[in-house]
C-alpha cells in the first residue's frame, strides 16, 4: 500500500507546478541564461555567480547601467509541492496516526528584486506575498488563512574600492541580512530544497531559537579580494521563530566570517563565528516580565568546498555553547553535514547529503540526523524564465523527548518524499 501511495504521489507531482532559485531578472540584466551564474540544474553558484553576489547583485561592483529597465530588477517566483510522508510506526497519538500521508501544496509566491541603483550602491529584497505554513483546516489556522506574508531579506549595499585596480573593495550592507558565507554554503542557492539541519533548525528544547540561517536586522562589512572575503556583522539578535522580530534587549550580537578560495572554480575553506546574548524573561521576549537569566551563546563553523565543472563536495562542522538555566549551566552542541552533487547535463543533476546535530553532547539520545538524496531537472531556461523540477527523499532520525536538557527514549525514523516544481519569470 505504501508503495502504491508513493507511485501515486510521483505521478501527481509530475503535473504539479513550483519555483526556481536562479533569478531571471539578473539573467535578463546579463543577457544570458541561468547557467551563466549557476551550475544548472543543481543550482550552486559558479565563479561568475559568486562574484555577482559579492558585488551586490551586479556584474561589476562599481558600474551602473546607462539604461535602467525594471525587467532587470524584478522577478516573480512560484513553488508548488506534492509530498508523501511515512512517519515511524512507533509514534502514537492522533497527531501522528491521523496525520495526512499525502498532500498537494501551492507552497509560495515571492517577489525578488535587486541590483545597482548608483555606481557604488545596490539593493536586494526578497518578499513572500504568500507562503504555506503547513497548517491544516483545523484549529491551528489563524484568521482563516494557512499562509503567511513576510519580508525575508532586504538590504542596501555600498561598495568602496580599496585598491587602484578595484579588485579589492569594501562592501557594506545594512538592513535585514543573512551572513553571505552561509548563503553560499547551502542557505541560498542550493541543490536540495530542504536546508541542512545545522543551519536551519534551532536546538530542540532551547528557549533561544537562534539558528545560523536566521536573517537578522543590522549591518555588516566585507573586504572582498580576488581570492578571499572577510566579514564582520553587528545585528540585533532576536527570537528568530518570529518573522521580522527585533530584540527584546539592548545587547547586539556579532559575527565574523572568512573564506579563502584556492582555485579557478572557487574551491575554498572558510570559518564562521556568531556570538550572541538571549534574555530569558518569564514570558518569552516580553521585557515587562521578570528576567530569569541571560543566555550567552556562540556558534563556530568550519566550512569547505571542492568544486569542479560538473560536480562539487561541500561540508561544514559546527560547535556551540548555550546557557540553559538560571544556575548558568552550560550545554555544548555539535553538528556537521556533507553534501555531494553532480550535473550529468545542464538539465539533469543529482545530489546527496547527510546531516547530524547534537544539541547537548553531555546527554545521549537527543541527536537529530538526516539522510537526503534527490535529483533536479530543468524543463527549460532562458534569460526570461526558467522551470525546474525536483524530487528528494529524506530519512530523518530523532528521539522521543530528546532535547538540550533531556535524554530521549524511543528512536523514530521518519521518511518523506517531496516533489517540487519551481517556475520563475
Residue by residue, pLDDT tens for the chain (425 residues) are 444 444 433 333 333 333 335 788 888 877 777 778 888 778 888 888 889 999 999 989 998 877 788 888 999 999 999 999 999 999 999 989 898 999 999 999 999 999 999 999 999 999 999 999 888 877 766 666 788 888 999 999 999 999 999 999 999 999 999 999 999 998 988 899 999 999 999 999 999 999 999 899 999 999 999 999 999 999 999 888 887 888 999 999 999 999 999 999 999 999 999 999 999 999 988 999 999 999 999 999 999 999 998 999 999 999 999 999 999 999 999 999 999 999 999 899 999 999 999 999 999 999 999 999 999 999 888 888 889 999 999 999 999 999 999 999 999 999 999 999 999 99
Which domains, from first to last, does the chain contain?
A: 2-424 (2.40.160.10)
Contact at 8 Å (CB) between 223 and 173? no
Within 13 Å, how many C-alpha atoms sit on residue 325's CB side?
7
Contact at 8 Å (CB) between 345 and 311? no
Q: What is the pLDDT of residue 144?
A: 66
Q: What is the pLDDT of residue 10?
A: 38
Helix (H, G, I), strand (E, B) or coil at 180: helix
Residue of 193, 22, 44, 190 lying closest to 105 (CA atoms)? 193
Positive or negative torsion for Cα 265, 267, 268, 272: positive
Q: What is d(CA 183, CA 190) in angstroms, rounded to the nearest whole number?
A: 9
Q: What is the pLDDT of residue 226?
A: 93
Helix, strand, coil percentages (3-state) for the chain, rounded to 5, are 10, 50, 40
Q: What is the pLDDT of residue 23?
A: 84
Helix (H) or strand (E) holding 257: strand 253-261
Q: How far apart are the first and last CA of the chain?
A: 39
Q: What is the pLDDT of residue 143?
A: 60
Q: What is the pLDDT of residue 37?
A: 85
Residue with cell 568546498: 305
Residue of 310, 213, 297, 224 lying closest to 259 (CA atoms)? 224
- Which residues, in sequence order, are bridge partners of residue 172? 158, 221
Q: What is the pLDDT of residue 116?
A: 94
Q: What is the pLDDT of residue 240?
A: 81
Helix (H, G, I), strand (E, B) or coil at 37: coil
DSSP label of 60:
S
Q: What is the pLDDT of residue 142?
A: 66
Residue with cell 566550512: 303
Q: What is d(CA 206, CA 216) in angstroms, rounded to the nearest whole number?
A: 19
Residue of 152, 223, 235 lying closest to 181 (CA atoms)? 223
Amino acid at each position: 500500500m505504501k508503495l502504491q501511495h508513493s507511485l501515486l504521489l510521483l505521478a501527481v507531482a509530475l503535473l504539479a507546478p513550483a519555483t526556481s532559485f536562479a533569478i531571471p531578472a539578473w539573467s535578463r540584466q546579463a543577457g544570458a541564461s541561468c547557467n551563466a551564474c549557476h551550475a544548472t540544474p543543481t543550482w550552486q553558484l559558479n565563479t561568475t555567480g559568486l562574484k555577482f553576489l559579492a558585488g551586490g547583485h551586479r556584474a561589476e561592483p562599481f558600474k551602473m547601467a546607462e539604461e535602467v529597465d525594471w525587467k532587470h530588477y524584478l522577478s516573480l517566483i512560484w513553488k508548488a509541492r506534492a509530498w508523501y510522508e511515512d512517519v515511524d510506526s512507533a509514534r502514537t497519538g492522533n497527531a501522528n496516526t491521523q496525520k495526512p500521508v499525502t498532500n498537494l501544496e501551492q507552497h509560495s509566491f515571492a517577489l525578488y528584486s535587486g541590483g545597482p541603483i548608483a555606481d557604488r550602491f545596490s539593493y536586494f529584497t526578497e518578499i513572500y506575498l504568500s507562503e504555506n505554513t503547513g497548517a491544516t483546516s483545523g484549529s491551528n489556522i489563524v484568521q482563516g488563512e494557512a499562509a503567511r506574508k513576510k519580508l525575508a531579506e532586504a538590504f542596501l549595499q555600498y561598495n568602496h574600492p580599496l585598491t587602484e585596480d578595484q579588485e579589492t573593495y569594501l562592501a557594506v550592507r545594512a538592513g535585514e541580512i543573512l551572513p553571505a558565507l552561509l548563503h553560499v554554503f547551502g542557505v541560498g542557492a542550493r541543490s536540495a530544497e530542504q536546508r541542512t539541519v545545522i543551519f536551519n533548525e534551532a536546538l530542540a528544547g532551547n528557549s533561544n531559537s537562534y539558528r545560523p540561517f536566521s536573517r537578522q536586522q543590522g549591518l555588516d562589512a566585507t573586504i572582498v579580494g580576488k581570492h578571499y572575503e572577510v566579514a564582520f556583522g553587528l545585528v540585533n539578535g532576536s527570537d528568530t521563530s518570529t518573522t521580522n522580530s527585533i530584540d527584546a534587549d539592548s545587547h547586539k550580537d556579532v559575527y565574523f566570517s572568512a573564506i579563502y578560495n584556492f582555485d579557478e572554480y572557487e574551491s575554498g575553506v572558510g570559518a564562521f563565528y556568531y556570538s550572541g546574548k538571549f534574555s530569558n524573561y518569564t514570558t518569552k521576549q516580553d521585557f515587562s516580565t521578570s528576567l530569569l537569566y541571560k543566555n550567552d551563546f556562540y556558534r563556530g563553523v568550519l566550512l569547505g568546498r571542492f568544486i569542479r565543472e560538473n560536480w562539487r563536495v561541500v561540508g561544514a562542522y559546527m560547535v556551540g555553547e548555550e546557557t540553559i538555566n538560571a544556575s548558568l549551566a552550560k550545554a555544548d552542541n555539535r553538528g556537521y553535514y556533507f553534501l555531494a552533487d553532480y550535473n550529468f547535463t545542464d538539465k539533469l543533476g543529482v545530489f546527496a547529503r547527510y546531516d547530524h546535530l547534537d544539541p547537548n553532547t553531555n546527554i545521549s539520545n537527543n541527536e537529530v540526523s538526516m539522510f537526503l538524496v534527490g535529483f533536479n531537472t530543468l524543463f527549460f531556461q532562458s534569460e526570461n524564465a526558467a522551470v525546474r523540477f525536483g524530487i528528494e527523499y529524506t530519512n530523518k532520525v530523532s528521539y522521543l523527548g530528546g532535547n538540550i536538557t533531556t535524554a530521549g527514549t524511543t528512536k523514530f525514523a521518519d521518511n518523506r518524499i517531496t516533489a517540487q516544481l519551481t517556475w520563475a519569470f
